[in-house]
């Protein structure tokens, strides 16, 4: 399956991850413990202003079955059961939330050497149906996705995209928001030896003729330290420093300055991820 195209949701994902992943302007704590029997436990805590939000996630893996259960501070229970290789090249997932009895959803993914198909349908009397697919290879792929509301018999979304990937760069073009937005992204490993990567994302909205862009970079200072930067046309500049202070345990400090909000202090966030 190494030559299979990526799912539609992965088109443009590499550039987006560099520009957004791990940036956090709250106080966040994560503790992960993985047992030898296939059982994993993760506790998350997030402090935003004066509000604290947390959850405990239990993950159990056994052969081709994965069970994921999450309980949050509001007593909501989210469960997802995933079965791999039910049919050749097929993955099936069933998810639901308690107490929301209308939250049930069935996802099916099929990977072919030259195609990737994903489908999702709500398990309720008036389900929302979503379909997406890509064709091509890992180097060049073309894809689309649609959403259909069975209650109104209307399309809730339709998007299309194309991506071109090479070992040192990736480019993507997405037509989104029912054809109202065009997004182009590019990521390039400038210096693979020193771990320097740059990325850019440009968005054009046809209805308002508005253009926006974000530029970013990632630099591997040494095997334990990574620094990321980003700048947007709206005047916001971000900086991130991440250190692996012990194997698989990370501390991340993020800050963002808004040049258009002169009276506001820069945002600062701290994230601590522990994995004993």
For 209: left if phi > 0, alpha if psi spans -120 to 50, otherwise beta; the answer is: left
Say which DSSP state 22 is in: T
10-25 mean pLDDT: 96
* pLDDT 10s digits, 208-231: 999 999 999 999 999 999 999 999
Chain centre to alpha carbon of residue 276: 25
**HSE of 15, CA atoms in CB hemisphere, 13 A:** 25
Domain extent for 73: 8-274
Is 1 among the domain residues?
no
* pLDDT 10s digits, 168-181: 999 999 999 999 99
Is 255 among the domain residues?
yes
* pLDDT 10s digits, 104-139: 999 999 998 899 999 999 999 989 999 999 999 989
Is 3 among the domain residues?
no
Residue 1 binned pLDDT confidence (cut-offs 50, 70, 90): very low
Q: What is the CATH number of the domain that holds 197?
A: 2.40.160.10
Is 231 among the domain residues?
yes
Determine the pLDDT at residue 263. 86
- The token duo for 149 is 């509301």
Question: For the chain, what is the domain count?
Answer: 1
CA angle 211, 212, 214 (to 5 degrees): 155
Distance CA 164, CA 159 (A): 17
* pLDDT 10s digits, 172-206: 999 999 999 999 999 999 987 778 999 999 999 99
* pLDDT 10s digits, 41-56: 999 999 998 899 999 9
Give the residue carrying structure tokens 């893996």.
61
């Amino acid at each position: 399956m190494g030559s299979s195209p990526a799912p539609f949701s992965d088109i443009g994902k590499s550039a987006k991850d560099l520009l957004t992943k791990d940036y956090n302007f709250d106080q966040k704590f994560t503790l992960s413990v993985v047992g030898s029997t296939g059982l994993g436990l993760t506790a998350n805590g997030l402090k935003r202003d004066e509000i604290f939000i947390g959850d405990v996630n239990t993950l159990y893996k056994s052969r081709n079955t994965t069970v994921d259960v999450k309980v949050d501070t509001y007593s909501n229970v989210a469960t997802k059961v995933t079965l791999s290789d039910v049919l050749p090249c097929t993955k099936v997932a069933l998810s639901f939330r308690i107490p929301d009895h209308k939250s049930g959803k069935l996802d099916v993914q099929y990977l072919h050497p030259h195609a990737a198909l994903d489908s999702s349908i709500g398990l309720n009397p008036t389900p929302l149906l979503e379909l997406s697919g890509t064709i091509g290879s890992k180097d060049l792929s073309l894809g689309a996705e649609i959403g259909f509301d069975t209650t109104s018999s209307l399309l809730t979304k339709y998007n299309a995209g194309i991506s071109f990937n090479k070992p040192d760069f990736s480019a993507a073009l997405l037509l989104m928001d029912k054809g109202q937005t065009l997004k182009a992204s590019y990521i390039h490993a400038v210096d693979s030896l020193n771990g320097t990567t740059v990325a850019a994302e440009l968005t054009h909205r046809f209805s308002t003729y508005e253009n926006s862009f974000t530029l970013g970079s990632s630099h591997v200072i040494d095997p334990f330290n990574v620094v990321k930067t980003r700048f947007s046309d709206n005047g916001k500049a971000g900086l991130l420093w991440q250190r692996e202070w012990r194997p698989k345990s990370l501390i991340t400090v993020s800050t963002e300055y808004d040049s258009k909000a002169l009276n506001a202090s820069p945002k600062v966030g701290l994230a601590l991820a522990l994995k004993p």
